[in-house]
Amino acid sequence: MDEFRAIIEPFRIHSVEPIRMSDRAEREAHLREAGLNLFALHSQDVLVDLLTDSGTGAMSSEQWAGLQRGDESYAGSPSWFRFLAAVRELFDFPHVIPTHQGRAAEKILFTVLGAPGRVIPNNTHFDTTRANVEFSGAHAADLPVAESRTPSLEHPFKGNMDVAALATLLEARAADVPVVFVTVTNNSGGGQPVSLENLRAVRAVCDRHGVPLFLDACRFAENAWFIREREPGQAGRDVADIVREMASLADGMTMSAKKDGLANIGGWLAVRDDALAEQCRNLLILTEGFPTYGGLAGRDLDAIAQGLREVVDHDYLHYRIRSTAYLGDALHAAGVPVIRPIGGHAVYIDAGALLPQIPALQYPGQALAYELYATGGVRGCEIGSVMFGRRPDGSEVPAAVELVRLAIPRRTYTQSHIDYVIEVVLAVAARAEELRGLRIVEQAPALRHFTARFESLA
Ligand SMILES: Cc1ncc(COP(=O)(O)O)c(C=O)c1O
């Protein structure tokens, strides 16, 4: 239990960015111009931007110093070796392949491993992962534990994979499964952690069938902190040590350094297998760059190297997880339906439960996201049928849950910004029954949520 209620941020603010104030009429005009899609807003028209925690965090003074140290040699730069050492300190894979962000690592890996007739299981694929799997022709199978399907249910490791379902799949089709993925934390499933026990059980099933296990490790440090806090026998353990154990259970990883790399850009693919690494490096050279910089500048490699040291700091993780819970617990206490328990990087409002009058295919999540912005300039992100409802053949199927994610950028907003967000959400929730759905008037065939345009059904 913390001695004081206030969450003291474990940093002082070193430079500031002004936020431009606006009123509802201005924000509604911005929404009309954006086709009611919050991805199309100018970010300067947003007061508190909780669209994503990806690449939106503040860097430390040591990371900015790292940018100055960055060495831009084409091959074999010291920045590369500092990056490699920092990655290996946590993830001891023989092959580390730097990419400009996580999806580039996914694209390379699934170009090699995916193909029509193949299946890639995951606890839950994130949108870019699913899209890259499907683009390869493979099927993306989500196998989360049953507990993850009930947003209000309290469970310490709702990010876990359904091990029995994985075993059934591999017994029937192991030859069609080139890799099993586990996403830590499970972003689409609510930022919920995966336990070490679950990872070990998944590993054992993979071993029985000779299938490699990979981590989608974007939020590895937050996941490890939850393991330390919640898993029997792990209390008091060094987070870096927990991360090393997570890595030791896997044959490879994809990573977006825009999350727990504490950087604004970057990522990597790491693998144990020499032949797979060579195939991936050949693609890397085609699409990203030379293997010692991938898609990154030397200065980015340095910023990530320093970020990886800072992200496993216990004071940072204590503040990080507690400040996300502060938002979620306040909404929960006020009766707003949110995914329980509160995840690591975001609070997920259950828009389906808050807006029962709006059918799934009239996009309750999008309607709620619209209203949070119109009311208070708070930008969240729909994670529901807009994001996941369109199948590759163009048909529509409602997503499992209709959520609005309020993702918290790292080290960026203070407790008073979050107090403001709480007030805005409660003001919208108080008149939830007035909200109406939307329809899509323009959309792309894949990842439509980024560019779709909507019309209100009000
Ligand atoms: C779980 C997960 N995997 C992969 C990605 C893709 O990473 P990037 O945005 O760097 O391409 C994300 C990004 O949000 C993510 O949350």
Tokens of 120: 């890639």
User: Which residue's C-alpha comes closest to atom 6 of ligand 1?
Assistant: 102
Q: Nearest-CA neighbor of 369 among 423, 433, 415, 438?
A: 438
- Looking at residue 108, what is its pLDDT? 98
Interval between CA 432 and ligand 1 midpoint (Å): 31
Interval between CA 132 and ligand 1 midpoint (Å): 11
Q: Which of 52, 99, 103 for a ligand 1 pocket mutation test, highest count of atoms within 8 Å of Cβ?
A: 103
Interval between CA 342 and ligand 1 midpoint (Å): 19
Residue 109 parent element (H or E): helix 102-113
Atom of ligand 1 nearest to the CA of 266: 10
Alpha-carbon distance 237 to 145, whole Å? 26
Atom of ligand 1 nearest to the CA of 258: 10
Q: Which of 50, 120, 126 for a ligand 1 pocket mutation test, highest count of atoms within 8 Å of Cβ?
A: 126
pLDDT digits (tens, 9 = 90+) for 45-97: 999 999 999 999 999 999 999 999 999 999 999 999 999 999 999 999 999 99
Alpha-carbon distance 194 to 143, whole Å? 13
Atom of ligand 1 nearest to the CA of 185: 1
User: Which residue's C-alpha comes closest to atom 4 of ligand 1?
Assistant: 102
Position of tokens 């300190």? 89
- Looking at residue 150, what is its pLDDT? 87
Using an 8 Å Cβ cutoff, are 227 and 160 in contact?
no
In this prediction the pTM is 0.95
User: Which residue's C-alpha comes closest to atom 14 of ligand 1?
Assistant: 54
Atom of ligand 1 nearest to the CA of 257: 10
Cα Rg of the chain (Å, integer): 21
Low-confidence ranges of the chain (pLDDT < 70): 1
Interval between CA 405 and ligand 1 midpoint (Å): 14
Alpha-carbon distance 447 to 87, whole Å? 30
Interval between CA 126 and ligand 1 midpoint (Å): 7
Residue 119 vs residues 30, 287, 438: alpha-carbon distances, Å:
42, 25, 33
User: Which residue's C-alpha comes closest to atom 7 of ligand 1?
Assistant: 102
- Looking at residue 189, what is its pLDDT? 73
- Looking at residue 3, what is its pLDDT? 86
Q: Which residues line ligand 1 (CB under 6 A)?
A: 54, 101-103, 126, 128-129, 183, 187, 216, 218, 256, 258, 267
